Amino acid sequence: MPDLPSRATAELTVPATTAYLRHVRILAATIADDCAFDVEAIESLRVAVDELCALAMADATDTAELTIAMTTTEDGIDLEGRCSPVTEEPMLDPIAEQLLRAGSNHHALRLEGDTVHLELRASRPTAGVDGGR
């Protein structure tokens, strides 16, 4: 595992279009790997982050930006972000809810004015009998 501080934050701002979601997914997967998440947990987190960001920017205007900040913690990763400006409140469907639950311990989307705020928390999986990775 890389020599990481116990708490560090990486921030990324991209145009709020699906073409840029891959950058967000790569950041999430890289940080999860650095935090010793196993392969399955990395993939689940990557999918959850993708889904949450896609929901946040579903009704973004042509000039909207998505900003996320991913912070490493003692037990996992916290993500906070915003997408602005948007025209509608995001709607969470049952499939999206399942994907978010599979990759996170907590997730939230809320509209304030023309900005969607998003949160996600993922705990590092505990090591199994074989010692983890």
What does the pLDDT read at residue 131? 44
What does the pLDDT read at residue 6? 67
Query: Is 17 within the bounds of a domain?
Result: yes
> Which domain does 38 fall in, by range?
9-123
Query: Is 50 within the bounds of a domain?
Result: yes
Among candidates 133, 89, 130, 131, which has minimal Cα distance to 112? 89
Query: Is 73 within the bounds of a domain?
Result: yes
Query: Is 3 within the bounds of a domain?
Result: no
Residue with tokens 């889904």: 51
- Domain count for the chain, please give it: 1
CA dist 85 and 98 (Å) reads 27
- Each of the 133 residues of the chain gets a pLDDT tens digit; together they read 556 666 799 999 999 999 999 999 999 999 999 999 999 999 999 999 999 999 999 999 999 999 999 999 989 999 999 999 999 999 999 999 999 999 999 999 999 999 999 999 999 887 554 444 4
Whichever domain contains 64, its CATH number is 3.30.565.10
Query: Is 109 within the bounds of a domain?
Result: yes
Residue 122 CB contacts under 8 Å (≥ 6 apart), including other chains: 32, 37, 41, 45, 48, 76, 77, 79, 103, 104, 105
- Tokens describing residue 103: 């990759």
CA dist 66 and 85 (Å) reads 9
Residue with tokens 């196993």: 38
Query: Is 1 within the bounds of a domain?
Result: no
Query: Is 4 within the bounds of a domain?
Result: no
Query: Is 131 within the bounds of a domain?
Result: no
